[in-house]
Structure formats: structure tokens, C-alpha cells
Amino acid sequence: MDNHVYKTIELTGTSSKSMEDAVQSAIRRASETIENLCWFQVVDTRGNIKDGSVHHWQIVLKVGFLLSDTAQDKEARVR
């Protein structure tokens, strides 16, 4: 039986509302095409400014997910 292997990708979620919403929007988008999302880690918190106020929060996060077994899932996921 094989050991689990995970892949991490780096996404930037954006939101005009809050830091949490920016993270959620990135994870929601990732979950549309990736199953088995497991964890995330925030690696940068940025934003742009308009009229003396935060316009968009931009949260850079790493998202980790379990790679499925190639015997059952032939698609070239790792690339």
C-alpha cells in the first residue's frame, strides 16, 4: 500500500470585504476543480488602495490537496 502524497499550489484570493473573505474566495475557486483539498497557509497579505481606503484585500495562500492514485485517475494531476 502506497504512502499519501500531497501537492501544494499557490493562489491569491481577493475581496473588498475582509481578509477571511479573500481566503474563502480562493478556496472556493480551487474546490471547483480539485477534490480532496486539505489545508491552507497564508503566505502574504496585501491589497490595493483607492480613495484613502483598502479597495481589495489580496491574500496569497498555499493550498494543499491529496493526490489521487494514478491507477484509478489517469489525468496528469501533478503537473
C-alpha cell at 52: 484613502
- From the list 18, 44, 40, the residue with the least C-alpha distance to 31 is 40
Rounded Cα distance, 69 and 71, in Å? 5
Burial of 13 (0-12, 13-18, 19+ CB in 10 A): buried
The residue ranges that bind its own copies (CB under 8 A) are 2-16, 18-34, 37-42, 44-49, 51-54, 56-57, 60, 62-64, 67, 70, 75-79
Shortest separation between residue 7's beta carbon and its own copies, angstroms: 6
Shortest separation between residue 11's beta carbon and its own copies, angstroms: 6
Shortest separation between residue 68's beta carbon and its own copies, angstroms: 10
